[in-house]
Amino acid sequence: MQHLPTPEDPGSITRVAGIEVGHFTDTRRPTGCSVVLARAGAVAGVDVRGAAPGTRETDLLHPSNLVEQVHGIVLAGGSAWGLEAATGAVRWLEERGVGFDVAVGRLPIVPAAVLFDLLVGDMRVRPDAAAGYAACEAASMAPVAEGNVGAGAGAAVGKIFGIQNAMKGGIGSASVTVNGVTVGALIACNALGDVVHPDTGAVLAGSRTDDGQAMRDTRRALLRGEAPRPLLAGTNTTIGVVATDAVLTKAQAHRLAVAAHDGLARSINPVHTMSDGDTLFALGTGLAQRNPGMMLLATMAAEAVALATVRAVQAASALTTAEGLHLPCARDFARP
């Protein structure tokens, strides 16, 4: 069985056996959280590349540390406050008897990462434990909803020349299947830089010119000597999960997370900056009962991540907040 993503069928991380995804989107302002569940457990790894991350329980994923499997990953808006959403996911899983056996009960292991969306709407509204619980309630193996939902609800991209010149980010998913093994990705894109087409380099969404009518092309603008606007550190981040049904060791899961960042490098420019907290988790459910080799898996992971990042902005819708911030979307600038 083979599947290479196309615009008509990009695939979804839920095509990976053993993976469910759910979103909670807060209607009071654009923010929310997304959960990736592996109820039977999945070997996990993580790689943090950005210099301003917001994370929970990432140290336990180091290959030398004890816990072998996790039961879910939470991606959330709300900056550091959004980490509370993982508490709700832990409670939901515990109620269903899912977790690491600690003799007196089961402890669900749910790492998390957050993005900064506090400039979009009322920052006092942010994901909490109830939001994480609700996202779990909504989880299924259906194709993942994309765009202005879950952790992507308040995401914006291209903020390096000011939020007023930015565009709407979002959340996207894609998957690749080769010889019966699937790798999928779920990416919430709130990048400082532009999102570009991984094959052509064309800017799809990002910083606009000061009149708001055209793409600035951040890479070329910086190389021309245009100075970025003053930035508040940590106000940008692309976070996500790459999952596979291949059998992985914990060390291999770590390497898969490392390789997955190549997909961000192909679809975001600039990426991994001092003002981003770019973090990717990797999960291996093992349900394909084999490993086709890390060379192939790494290639598939980078491909799925690059395309999921593109999907995040292509599926996003334009947004205007009550405070007057307008974020157009990629479709507003798409050529016929």
**What's this model's pTM, rounded to 2 decimal places?**
0.96
User: Which residue in this structure is represented by tokens 């400039």?
Assistant: 119
Residues facing 110 on adjacent strands: none
Q: C-alpha 180: how far from its chain's center?
A: 25
User: Which residue in this structure is represented by tokens 């619980």?
Assistant: 133
- pLDDT grade, residue 5 (50/70/90)? confident
Q: Which of 113, 147, 125, 158 is nearest to 275 (CA)?
A: 158
- pLDDT grade, residue 234 (50/70/90)? low
Q: Which of 162, 146, 42 is nearest to 93 (CA)?
A: 42
Q: Do residues 155 and 115 make contact, with C-beta atoms less than 8 angstroms apart?
A: yes
Give mean pLDDT, residues 210-232.
88
The per-residue pLDDT for range 85-139, each reduced to its tens digit, is: 999 999 999 999 999 988 898 999 999 999 999 999 999 999 999 999 999 999 9
Q: Which of 305, 272, 327, 28 is nearest to 155 (CA)?
A: 327
- pLDDT grade, residue 233 (50/70/90)? low
Return the beta strands (E) in the chain as ranges: 20-26, 31-48, 55-56, 69-76, 100-101, 106-107, 112-114, 156-157, 167-168, 170-178, 181-190, 194-196, 203-205, 237-244, 268-269, 279-284, 319-320, 326-327
* Token reading at 287: 């349900």
Task: Note the pLDDT of residue 55.
Answer: 94
Distance CA 336, CA 321 (A): 28
Pairing of strands 170-178, 181-190: antiparallel
Give me the residue spans of the domains in the chain: 13-333
- pLDDT grade, residue 4 (50/70/90)? confident
CB atoms inside a 10 Å sphere around CB 272: 19
Domain 13-333's class? alpha beta
The per-residue pLDDT for range 129-188, each reduced to its tens digit, is: 999 999 999 999 999 999 999 999 999 999 999 899 999 999 999 999 999 999 999 999
Contacts of 194 (CB under 8 A, 6+ apart): 157, 158, 203, 204, 205, 206, 207, 215, 217, 218, 219, 268, 269
